[in-house]
Amino acid sequence: MKRLICRFFFNIFRHFPPSQKGFIGRFSKKMRAFFAKGFIKSCGKNVNIEHGAVISSKLSIGDNSGIGVDCVCGGELIVGNDVMMAPECVIFARNHEFSSLEIPMRLQGYREAEPCVIGNDVWIGRRVMIMPGVKIGNGVVIAAGAVVTKDVPDYAIVGGVPAKVLKTRKEENQ
* Residues labelled as active-site residues: 96
Q: Estimate to the nearest angstrom the gap between the alpha carbon of 24 and the chain centroid.
A: 24
For residues 2 and 91, give the distance between their C-alpha atoms in angstroms, rounded to a whole number: 26
103 CB-near residues (< 8 Å, 6+ apart):
none
Write out the E strands in the chain. 42-43, 48-49, 54-55, 59-61, 66-67, 72-73, 77-79, 84-85, 90-91, 116-118, 123-124, 129-130, 135-136, 141-142, 147-148, 156-159, 164-168
Q: Would you say 93 and 113 are in contact if contact means Cβ atoms under 8 Å apart? A: yes
